[in-house]
Amino acid sequence: MSISALNQKLTDANDIQQMNNAIRAVLLSGLVLPGLGQVVLKRYARGIFLMGVTLIFTGFIVVKAVQQALRILNRIPLDGSPIDMGDIYRAVSQASTASDSRLMYLSLFLLIFCWIYGVVDGYLLGKKMDQIEKADR
C-alpha cells in the first residue's frame, strides 16, 4: 500500500468523523428523545428544555388517553352478557368532548413540533460544530 493510498484512507476516515456530530445529534433527537442530541453536543440548557417539554406533552397525552379509556369503560354495561359493538360505539361517541379533543390535538401538534425542531436544531448544531472542528485541523 502506497503512502498516498494510506493518506486517502485517513482523509476518508476524517470525513466520516466530521459527519459524526450532525448525524449523532439527528439520530439521538429523532429516534430516542428530542433534546438528547443537543445534550450530547454540550448544549445542555437547550437540550434539557426540549426534553422537558417533550416529556410534559407526552405525559399529558398519555394521561388524557387513559382518562378517555376509563370514561368509555364506565359507560359500557358489564352485566356478564356479551358486549355489543353498538354499546361500545355509543360509549365512545358520548365520552368525547370538544375541549378534550382540542387539547389533545394541540398537545400532539406541539409534541410533533418539538420533535422536528429537536432533529433540525441538532443537525444544524452538529454541522456547525463539525465545521469548527474541521477549521481547527
> Percent of the chain scored above 70 by pLDDT?
80
The predicted structure's pLDDT at residue 16: 46
Predicted confidence (pLDDT) per residue in 17-38, tens digit: 445 888 999 999 999 999 999 9
The predicted structure's pLDDT at residue 72: 77
Q: Which residue has the cell 388524557?
A: 64
Q: Are the C-beta atoms of residues 67 and 54 closer than 8 Å to each other?
A: no
